[in-house]
């Protein structure tokens, strides 16, 4: 089954391009470290998911590029074509001239309805070119105007037009100290709206990725390109082909469906965080050796201590003892800083992954009490190494990972809302104070639900 990617706004387009680059680079590399047949299956599965073959041409990404101003898209199209390994369909993009001005209302209420037909037409065309449509993957930032506002609108349209398809939104959380002053408003409006139409939100935080670039990748002068490449690597580690069933003979063909099934048992809980280890500069790889037990141990501690990367993990945090004596209406008998999960998915790429013991992830104390812990954990594997890492382990987690960031964004937005600052910029385009209140209410509900795990 194939995934259609919708890249929205400057961020969405810049990241989308890096994602296709990473995936293509991985497939064409000689570092699969597995048998030839294995490699070929992997490559075919990957191609089916993300690319179309056109006669005597490089593979074409199954993507629609949308932006309200032309500079980024034209850059993205030309850079991709120059790579020689893949390209975008030259007609599969839509842009306007004037941008959304970082204004969510402009993206959602003005650009959305105005360009709905054209955009959905492009999406429809891409969807029709898939033998079997596996769902949609949208990439957007929350902080700006197009990715956030138009992105929320397009997601709604996707839901309406494809009621049974899976929709996964990849959302970029902006730096805490501003890239855009009204980013908290835009974020609140985006999240509350996406929650209604999307199946799940996969989040990357700029602050976190920045730290990874600085501390793990040793990059001195970090640019957005560096940040986007780390994000692309992490996404690739999730979406490249894997075997989802123990002893499965074929690479799974329904990645989005599988993801939703394992991670989103309840519609109230849609926030997914992503961790990937190891991460290091390319030139270190040759000198490093990893063991699965080591990687698993780190990944698990990252999960329960809510560590953002493999350095600076708090090893003091322990899961609570089950059967604790305090009965209470909400489970505050869990120790502070402990990250409670709803569901977790671990993805292992590299040789000897068959023998890996993942029992530590199946410990019921990691999970909330109202779910069956057997169903809460899943593992996908492949012996084929990913992107030059001999062994690589990823964790996609539906847990309290994003509780604090969410609470922080809502808090700051509320603070600003109380003073009514900038509201006139939104009402100008049809988003009223009640719309803000609705969004705040919806998100406080999500915060409350996650807090009470």
Partner 1 sequence: MTQSVVVQVGQCGNQVGCRFWDLALREHAAVNKNGIYDEALSSFFRNIDTRSGGDGPDIYKGKICSLKARALLIDMEEGVVNEILQGPLRDVFDSKQLITDVSGSGNNWAVGHKLYGYQYQENIVEKLRKTAEHCDCLQCFFVIHSMGGGTGSGLGTFVLNLLEDEFPEVYRFVTSVYPSGEDDVITSPYNSVLAMKELNEHADCVLPIENESLFEIVNKIHQMVNSGKLGSTVKQNSMITSSTGSAKMAQEKPFDAMNNIVANLLLNLTSSARFEGSLNMDLNEISMNLVPFPRLHYLVSSLTPLYTLADVNVPSRRLDQMFSDAFSRDHQLIQADPKHNLYLACALLVRGNVQLSDLRRNIERLKPSLHFVSWNQEGWKTGLCSVPPVGHSHSLLALANNTCVKPTFIELKDRFMKLYKKKAHLHHYLHIDGMEQSCFSEAISSLSDLIEEYNELDATKGGPRTDPSRLKIAV
Residues that bind partner 1 (CB under 8 A): 10, 14, 69-72, 75, 97-103, 145, 175-182, 210, 213-214, 219-225, 227, 329-330, 410-412, 414-416, 418-422, 424-425, 440-441, 444-445, 447-448, 452
| Complete DSSP assignment for 379-446 | EEEESS-BTTBSEEEEEEEEEGGGHHHHHHHHHHHHHHHHTTTTHHHHHTTT--HHHHHHHHHHHHHH
Nearer to partner 1, 38 or 444 (CB): 444
Min separation Cβ 227 and partner 1, Å: 7
Min separation Cβ 107 and partner 1, Å: 11
Nearer to partner 1, 338 or 414 (CB): 414
Q: And the tokens for 252?
A: 């799974």
Nearer to partner 1, 196 or 415 (CB): 415
190 burial level (CB within 10 Å; 0-12, 13-18, 19+): buried
Instruction: Name the helix (H) or strand (E) containing 23.
Output: helix 9-28
Nearer to partner 1, 184 or 306 (CB): 184
Q: What angle do CA 198, 400, 403 make, to 5 degrees?
A: 75
Min separation Cβ 30 and partner 1, Å: 31
List Cα–Cα distances, 400 to 72, 208, 272, in angstroms: 34, 16, 9
CA within 13 Å, CB half, 228: 19
Nearer to partner 1, 34 or 416 (CB): 416
Q: And the tokens for 304?
A: 């329960």
- Looking only at the bridges linking them, the beta strands covering 63-67 and 93-95 are parallel
- Looking only at the bridges linking them, the beta strands covering 60-61 and 51-52 are antiparallel
Nearer to partner 1, 175 or 290 (CB): 175
Q: What angle do CA 440, 444, 448 make, to 5 degrees?
A: 175
Min separation Cβ 292 and partner 1, Å: 34
Min separation Cβ 401 and partner 1, Å: 20
Min separation Cβ 412 and partner 1, Å: 7
């Amino acid at each position: 089954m194939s995934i259609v990617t919708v890249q929205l706004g400057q961020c969405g387009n810049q990241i989308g391009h890096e994602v296709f680059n990473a995936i293509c680079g991985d497939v064409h590399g000689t570092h699969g470290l597995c048998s030839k047949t294995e490699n070929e299956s992997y490559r075919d599965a990957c191609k089916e998911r993300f690319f179309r073959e056109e006669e005597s041409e490089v593979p074409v990404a199954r993507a629609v590029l949308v932006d309200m101003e032309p500079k980024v898209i034209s850059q993205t199209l030309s850079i991709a074509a120059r790579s020689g390994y893949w390209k975008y369909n030259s007609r599969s993009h839509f842009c306007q001239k004037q941008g959304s001005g970082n204004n969510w209302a402009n993206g959602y209420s003005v650009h959305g309805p105005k360009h709905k037909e054209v955009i959905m037409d492009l999406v429809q065309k891409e969807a029709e070119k898939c033998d079997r449509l596996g769902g949609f993957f949208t990439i957007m930032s929350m902080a700006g105007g197009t990715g956030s506002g138009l992105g929320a609108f397009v997601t709604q349209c996707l839901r309406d037009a494809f009621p049974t398809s899976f929709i996964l939104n990849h959302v970029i959380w902006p730096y805490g100290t501003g890239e855009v002053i009204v980013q908290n408003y835009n974020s609140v409006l985006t999240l509350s709206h996406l929650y209604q139409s999307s199946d799940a939100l996969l989040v990357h935080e700029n602050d976190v990725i920045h730290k990874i670039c600085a501390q793990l990748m040793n990059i001195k002068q970090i640019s957005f390109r560096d940040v986007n490449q780390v994000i692309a690597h992490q996404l690739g580690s999730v979406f490249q082909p894997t075997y989802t069933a123990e002893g499965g003979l074929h690479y799974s063909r329904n990645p989005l469906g599988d993801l939703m099934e394992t991670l989103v048992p309840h519609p109230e809980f849609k926030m997914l965080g992503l961790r990937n280890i190891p991460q290091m500069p390319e030139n270190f790889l040759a000198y490093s050796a990893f063991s699965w037990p080591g990687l698993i141990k780190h990944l698990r501690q990252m999960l329960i201590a809510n560590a953002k990367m493999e350095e600076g993990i708090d090893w003091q945090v322990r899961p609570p003892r089950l059967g604790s004596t305090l009965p209470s209406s909400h489970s505050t008998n869990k120790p502070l800083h402990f990250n409670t999960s709803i569901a977790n998915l671990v993805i292992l790429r590299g040789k000897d992954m068959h023998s890996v013991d993942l029992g530590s992830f199946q410990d019921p104390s990691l999970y909330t009490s109202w779910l069956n812990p057997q169903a809460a954990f899943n593992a996908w594997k492949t012996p084929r190494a990913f992107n030059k890492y001999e062994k690589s382990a990823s964790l996609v987690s539906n847990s309290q990972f994003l509780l604090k960031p969410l609470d922080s964004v809502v808090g700051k937005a509320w603070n600003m809302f109380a003073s009514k600052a900038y509201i006139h910029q939104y009402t100008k385009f049809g988003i009223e104070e009640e719309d803000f209140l609705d969004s705040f209410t919806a998100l406080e509900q999500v915060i409350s639900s996650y807090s009470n795990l």
